[in-house]
Amino acid sequence: MQRPRGVEVADVFRHHGPEYRQSHRLPLSHLRVMRAVEVCRTAELGGHKDKCVDCGHIEISYNSCRNRHCPKCQTLRKERWIEDRAEDLLPIEYFHVVFTIPSELNPLAIMNQKVMYNLLFRSASETLIELADNPKHLGARIGFIAILHTWGQNLMDHPHVHCVVTGGGLKENDWVSSRKGFFIPVRVMSALFRGKFLDYFKKSYDAKKIELTGSTSHLADPYVFDQFLRKLYHKKWVVYCKPPFNGIEGVLNYLSRYTHRVAISNERILKVENGEMTFKWRDYADGDKEKIMTLEAGEFIRRFLLHILPHRYVKIRHVGLLANRKRKHNIALCRQFLGSENTQTNKSEPKTWQEHMLEVSGIDVTRCPVCRKGRMVTIDALDYFRCNSPPVKC
């Protein structure tokens, strides 16, 4: 099935959002995201008027909402982030490790996003750091980037953390490399991750930091909660360690795909009609086959809103050697021990958004789309409609 030009998440929100908002009581953060997506790159956010210096052709471009949940506003932000991270990469193997919590915990994660996602980050990070520091495995301080994803391909809740991990680390005054093509046994990571998460989860429950309402209200009974916890201890938790990336370019390609993703991209949407929307998805449980799914518009909106993160919640975290406070110093030290020629990071001149767009899409937005020779220059700024406040970044 071919995707009609221009079919977007914004179309679903514009046509079916008002009815959904009337029938559902939504938090302010959800209302802000819906509003931002609806007005993104429309006259309501203002823009600018450009004119070709050669042929006089005039183009009007509207501003982006810049909301991190908007499918149209991630490309340039992602490219700038990737450009910065490229300076930190070392000439070593990097591993991709994924930590996932069992589906039984998903309803609790939806009701307690900040608490549960913090537990996920903390448990995964401590698991990697402790096992890598253990002489039985590596015996060194590693670094990694942890990226939170909360969705599956079908847009249902599926909290998990992707980690890009250095295949080695610092030990005293030396660099220690992991075995080629092998990091830490998955079963060992899984067992420790499970133990850490459930321990912190139990402490949060005892401290009454876990909200228990609706389908999870029965867990307020301590006996029922203990039974629930016991089942989770006996369940095998999914931790997946993929083969090492194919060099630094492989790491960058991976990061460019995963860091600034939203629940669904506009490219996956096939059509929106008759109160329904149809999109492509991959069924990993069925041999990674690409399938077509059709949802009632209200159900699609519900699933999309499941993945709106708390205000200012940090979904990309740098840990260990890559922690923000000492990253530059640690990277320079690692390069020194590795014998790398670049012993310090050299910050290049930041690129304009037009240069990023040309790199990513091959489209030169400064060239006239009519005569193909002249350059477009801004001649006027268009204000947003004052009657509607611009959406706030979430």
Buried b (16+ CB within 10 A) or exposed e, 101-110: beeebbbbbb
Average pLDDT over residues 11-29: 95
Quick count: other Cβ atoms within 10 Å of Cβ 257?
10
Average pLDDT over residues 36-59: 90
Highest mean pLDDT among 44-58, 114-128, 339-353: 114-128
* Residue corresponding to tokens 């009007």: 60
Does the pLDDT value for residue 343 go beyond 70?
no
Residue among 252, 269, 124 nearest 197 (CA): 124
Confidence of residue 392 (pLDDT cuts 50, 70, 90): very low
Distance CA 382, CA 387 (A): 15
DSSP result, 134-152: STTTT-SB-EEEEEEEEE-
pTM of the model: 0.88
Q: What is the pLDDT of residue 352?
A: 66
Tally the residues of the chain.
394
Query: pLDDT-based confidence at 161, cuts 50/70/90?
Result: very high
Cβ proximity of 83 and 77 under 8 Å: no
- Residues 163-208 pLDDT 10s: 999 999 999 889 999 888 889 999 999 999 999 999 999 999 999 9
CA distance 352 to 127: 40
Please measure the distance between the N-terminal and C-terminal CA atoms of the chain and give it in whole angstroms. Answer: 34
Query: What distance in Å separates the CA atoms of residue 335 and residue 343, rounded to the nearest whole number?
Result: 5
Residue whose C-alpha is closest to residue 220's, from 104, 108, 117, 101 = 108
Average pLDDT of every residue of the chain: 88
Q: Tell me what pLDDT residue 394 has.
A: 41
